[in-house]
Amino acid sequence: MGQSDLLYSIRRTFVPLIVGFLLAQAARVGFDIPAEDLTGVVESLVTGVYYAVVRVAETYWPPIGVLLGATRQPTY
């Protein structure tokens, strides 16, 4: 794996984590949920679902990979 592939793989990991965090925070608005109880679980679930949906959609429409941080998939 080249340096470029490594950077793409790291970007494609961090972008879904950031999006999952932001979506989880947005979902909490208006709800009276103790943050320490559910934040981690909600973030993980939202991030996992986001990543899975984008990866599957990417097989049909490659440009959507930009939602993972890059349209080019890394090669290993």
List of residues 6+ apart from 23 with CB closer than 8 A = 46, 50
pLDDT in tens, 4-46: 776 777 788 888 888 877 777 777 776 666 767 667 767 777 8
pLDDT value at residue 35:
66
55 vs 6, 10, 36, 47, 49, CA distance in Å? Answer: 18, 15, 30, 12, 10
Exposed e or buried b per residue across 44-70, where buried means at least 16 C-beta atoms within 10 angstroms of its C-beta: eebbeebbeebbeebeeeeebbebbbe
Extents of the domains making up the chain: 3-68
Tell me, what's the pLDDT at 11? 82
Task: Record the pTM.
Answer: 0.60
Residue 39 confidence (pLDDT): 72
